[in-house]
Amino acid sequence: MAPDPLTPYGNRPMVTPIVNAVNYEYLSFEVLRQITDGEIDGYTYHRDDNPTVREVERKIAALEGAEDCVVCTSGMAACTMVYLTYLKVGDHLIIFHDTYGANYKVSLILERLGVEITWLNADEADKIGEHIRPTTRMIFLETPSNPLCKIIDIAAVRKAADAVTAMVVVDNTFATPYHQNPLTLGADLVVHSATKALGGHNDLMAGAIAGTKEHYNRLWFTRQAIGTTLDAYSAFLLDRGLKTFELRAKAIARSAQTVAEFLAEHTKVSRLSFPGLASHPDHAVAASQMHRGFGGMLAFDVGEDEEDAKRFIAALQTIYHAVSLGATESLICIPYLTTMLYLPPERRTTFGIGRNTVRLSIGIEPAEILIKDIKQALACVAQGVTLDG
């Protein structure tokens, strides 16, 4: 066989090559048959599969302790692929208010397709059994929850789901696989917005779903059918992000714990929620299902009202006023005005977010720099000073 022109001496490139091909030449009709019959792995058309994407799928599967993983164009594509693959008309879905806001938009589409939906607050998770019906097919949750960092006991939800053999799906974006592996706690599938900590640099959008090979096959079918396959360049960036993922996750969790301990003592901060604090109502559950720290997400109320929260954010110099999370830079937003914006106003507040609640995503900056920034911005709140932000 002729040498591979990319590696003529077997000298592998140090980074995963970006394969931008949309289609691939068949070596023969026999090879075409073998690929089509699933006898051999082979690349044929980008909507089916791509070698750069496949490399990332293997790495994310390993991080989650999964047999395999399907990577797609965004976190919401991943959530939607899960709903479309497993739910049909008449099925019942239990989902929590405290999940990323765009799930609400997708829920409107699902209802139009005949899926029945029950919304619960994360702090009602222990009563989930009361909401399970014979038709319940899926329970979808985030823990720590988004944005309030409430904790749901995944193993307890698994137990409740077993009454009707419903699937348990966990969006693990907030926790990250460095701190939590839902599959080991009884979840059937783990979903990620890989746009966040897995990519980690605010420069790509991707989603991932990890689980058994059987789930991989079903989800792969959906992706291939609807065309949510990630492009090779984004897969390359994600692959590069994954190289430092564990280092970043470790640094972020350490800083988050220090920042949370500082915030806990401040008079202009209330309802602070960080699962690593002993004062968190579900700290014990968090400690049992998370490891090596508690991630980098915090939620808290600033001062008395929305103006105080805006004053605080406008005064920050290091922390960026932006949505998204899990990045190298610390990011802060008011969920009422951003991630939860598309929920009807009354739904935005029913599960506990206030107009002065902020969601802080810690980055890799040293904790003392973040604390200095937060301290001076809270001083502006205390003095009623508004800076141009």
Ligand X SMILES: Cc1ncc(COP(=O)(O)O)c(C=O)c1O
176 binds ligand X (CB under 6 A): no
296 binds ligand X (CB under 6 A): no
100 binds ligand X (CB under 6 A): yes
Which residue's entry shows tokens 């706690």? 185
275 binds ligand X (CB under 6 A): no
Phi and psi angles of residue 223, each rounded to the nearest 5 degrees, phi first: -60, -45
Q: Which is nearer to ligand X, 79 or 161 (CB)?
A: 79
Whole-angstrom Cα distance, residue 384 to residue 370?
A: 21
Active site residue 162: no
CB of 78 to ligand X, least distance (A): 7
Q: Which is nearer to ligand X, 198 or 377 (CB)?
A: 198
- Whole-number Cα distances in Å, 370 to 159, 168, 260, 270, 360: 40, 36, 11, 18, 11
Q: Residue 331 pairs with which residues in a beta bridge?
A: 320, 361
User: Which pair of tokens denotes residue 112?
Assistant: 């139009």
Q: Which is nearer to ligand X, 195 or 268 (CB)?
A: 195
Active site residue 171: yes
Whole-angstrom Cα distance, residue 259 to residue 249?
A: 15
Phi and psi angles of residue 142, each rounded to the nearest 5 degrees, phi first: -125, 135
Q: Which is nearer to ligand X, 50 or 195 (CB)?
A: 195
Q: What is the DSSP string of 238-255?
A: HHHHHHTHHHHHHHHHHH
76 binds ligand X (CB under 6 A): yes
Whole-angstrom Cα distance, residue 386 to residue 103?
A: 34
Among the residue ranges 69-77, 156-164, 221-229, 300-308, the one whose residues contact ligand X (CB under 6 A): 69-77
CB of 7 to ligand X, least distance (A): 33
Q: Which of 64, 68, 142, 282 binds ligand X (CB under 6 A)?
A: 142
Among 43, 47, 203, 240, the active-site one is 47
107 binds ligand X (CB under 6 A): no
CA angle (163, 150, 329) in 5-degree steps:
130
Whole-angstrom Cα distance, residue 228 to residue 249?
A: 27
Q: Which of 75, 293, 296, 354 binds ligand X (CB under 6 A)?
A: 75
Residues of span 177-206 touching ligand X by CB under 6 A = 193, 195, 205
CB of 72 to ligand X, least distance (A): 10
49 binds ligand X (CB under 6 A): no
Active site residue 41: no
Cβ count within 10 A of residue 381 = 25
Active site residue 308: no
Look at the chain and count its residues: 389
List, in order, residues 6 or more apart from 67 with CB less than 8 Å away: 61, 211, 212, 213, 216
228 binds ligand X (CB under 6 A): no
234 binds ligand X (CB under 6 A): no
User: Which pair of tokens denotes residue 389?
Assistant: 């932000």
174 binds ligand X (CB under 6 A): yes
Angle between the N-to-C axes of helices 367-383 and 306-315, in degrees from 0 to 180, rounded to the nearest 10: 130
CB of 174 to ligand X, least distance (A): 6
Phi and psi angles of residue 169, each rounded to the nearest 5 degrees, phi first: -120, 130
Which residue's entry shows tokens 């899960």? 82
Strand order in the sheet with 269-273: 269-273, 297-302, 357-361, 331-333, 320-321
Whole-angstrom Cα distance, residue 116 to residue 267?
A: 44
220 binds ligand X (CB under 6 A): no
Residues of span 304-363 touching ligand X by CB under 6 A = 324-325
Q: Which of 52, 74, 143, 356 binds ligand X (CB under 6 A)?
A: 74
CB of 76 to ligand X, least distance (A): 4
CB of 95 to ligand X, least distance (A): 12
146 binds ligand X (CB under 6 A): yes
CB of 79 to ligand X, least distance (A): 6
With CB under 6 A as the rule, give the number of residues binding ligand X.
15
List, in order, residues 6 or more apart from 299 with CB less than 8 Å away: 147, 148, 149, 271, 272, 273, 274, 335, 353, 357, 358, 359, 360
Among 171, 239, 282, 301, the active-site one is 171
- Contact positions vs ligand X (CB under 6 A): 74-76, 100, 142, 146, 171, 173-174, 193, 195, 205, 207, 324-325
- Active-site residue set: 47, 100, 171, 196
